[in-house]
Structure 1
């Protein structure tokens, strides 16, 4: 097996990959004890080329591989790409492009919703994956031949899956069905770790302006602490502690001691004092933005039955077209269509409207009927 540990070796492999139309890519990383994922291995397989790259080698510079990831003449094939993309963005400052995510493509090919990689390999290639090295500590060296074989298989199978999925989607004129999802993956904003935006990942338990401000400050403080110390967010304080801090707005060590989710003794730490000062500054700032919660208008009670009928139609059309329902429409899309013929939702645009949206509006206005025939749902024109 070719394990790349030197920059010159990587440059040679990258030249071969750059001459191919696509490359399948996967990574192995560790982040159980860190905030930033620690890249431990890169696997790559293109037609006639396959390699395992050791980013932990002291003799390697990953720049040639990052250049391949930025080369728009080479399609990058991933499965469930988001975490891999985040790693490349953190290390190189840019996202790999263009992309093809086989987990997204699987939804358009009828292989199910968020299908796991081993299940996709079984369905498409009729092969079973060896899972014996699944829980490897990829940061340890040396890696065994079995571990390296396991890692490389993730991309050699992917290299074989991609042409089949691409050809199926092209034949069915469905390649463009993936454009929106791939564009979302390629949006740097979804990987943004700016501390001031950390609160947006949390579910609001209250919507008063003071509570939200406290949560914003506490979440930003935790994010900075985690980034600076390179530890998981939960090692600083748990989410539950952030909610308590937002609720009670501690002003001294004793206030922290009365909180159930805050570790004992935390109030006497320098970090706690930093948090208190951050809260004081935010609440004393006369120019601070004031959060105003806007609730979407409630659905009219009369649309409830319509929503349920549209859900049945969505499942029917998904089965008829061999596509995962989630790729066509979300639950909120269905509710919006039930309430408004002109709802600004994806299910009423582009291919989704052709597959489901037009039929949904027809059903809503009595131009279609849902019936049971031999225990199965059928759709008929009225």
Structure 2
């Protein structure tokens, strides 16, 4: 393993000379808010290396410089968590990137296909997954563990080349570019604490409840980040909902809540929660947040949504694209209810050309579905 800054700089210089490099990371995050980076694996056309970011005195600056090099394509599989780590530690987002999981969906390998499935189907190679649940923070790592880690980037070279050729042959390279723009957006990783409530499933019915939830969720997010512990270690989601519904204004009221740990009414955390609740209750009624509500679907929308599901499956199979990357259930329901006014991904860019326009024709009665010779087909009316 590379354990010194000088070795890392030399490897990164070699990797920077190629057109692309494959990259993967191993990390732990069960007990921390931010993932703990334990291993970096990289490979170019003629080189493969493993970097130990836990080595004493190592400076990852050459690695971050390589990630910022716009002349080299950074190839990941399921890139989001790896990029989150790089963004958190290096304050940058790799560019340009190529995510083989997304590319595989565009090329018809199914929804969210795993790395070992791709390697098996493209290279006919079986990856030994017995080291999958390794504690990557422990040293020394065995040769078997290192071989497993390195395989995550060496096979990825061939997977990348295969998918790249598929995209070019099918004329779908620009489709992937649109998807990569989302992964390269700073907003994907830099979520403001005041927006932390949006990741929660909405169970509330009143504006005042949502106002309290927003304040308490923001407090929990800041506390979890500052202490570098998982959100649930600070306060579980059920606790947020109960506080939002009961709105305890003092310590006594807080102590009566079922989801609040005993003794919190005498802690700094309890004081912070009461302050957050009272701050939310002081918001003028006119400025209270609006609870997202689904407007009643027009008559026939549910049946239209079911027909759109059939159309989506039909088009996905015909075009060799995973249905999941074209449209989700929410997209279909909104198209069925709102028609062309629906602000959904399925009615934008390549998705509209592939599916959206036909979907609108279907609900407008300009396209029909019929069953012929044991097959479903869409026909223009």
Fold agreement, TM-score > 0.5? yes
Aligned partner of residue 80 in structure 1, secondary structure: coil
**1:282 CA drift (Å):** 4.0
- C-alpha distance in structure 1 between counterparts of 2:331 and 2:111, whole Å: 17
Query: In the TM superposition, what are the counterparts of 1:1-382 in structure 2 within 5 Å?
Result: 3-284=1-282, 289-343=287-341, 344-382=343-381
- C-alpha distance in structure 1 between counterparts of 2:199 and 2:264, whole Å: 24
Change (3 A) 1:213 1:23: same
Residues 23-59 of structure 1, C-alpha deviations (whole Å, 9 max, x = no match): 1111001111111111000000111011000000113
Q: Which runs of 4+ in 1 moved over 4 A?
A: 285-289
Change (3 A) 1:287 1:376: closer
- C-alpha distance in structure 1 between counterparts of 2:131 and 2:323, whole Å: 33
- C-alpha distance in structure 2 between counterparts of 1:7 and 1:79, whole Å: 26
Aligned partner of residue 205 in structure 1, secondary structure: coil
- C-alpha distance in structure 1 between counterparts of 2:217 and 2:92, whole Å: 26
- C-alpha distance in structure 2 between counterparts of 1:136 and 1:221, whole Å: 34
Change (3 A) 1:242 1:105: same
**1:289 CA drift (Å):** 4.3
Q: Which structure 2 segments of 5+ residues have no match? A: none
What is the TM-score normalised by the length of structure 2? 0.94
Contact 1:111/1:123 (<8 A) preserved = no
Change (3 A) 1:288 1:66: farther
Residues 62-120 of structure 1, C-alpha deviations (whole Å, 9 max, x = no match): 00010110111101111111111110000011111111111111111110011111111
Aligned partner of residue 301 in structure 1, secondary structure: coil
What is the number of residues matched between the two proteins? 380
Change (3 A) 1:361 1:219: closer
Change (3 A) 1:256 1:294: closer
Q: Which structure 1 segments of 5+ residues have no match? A: none
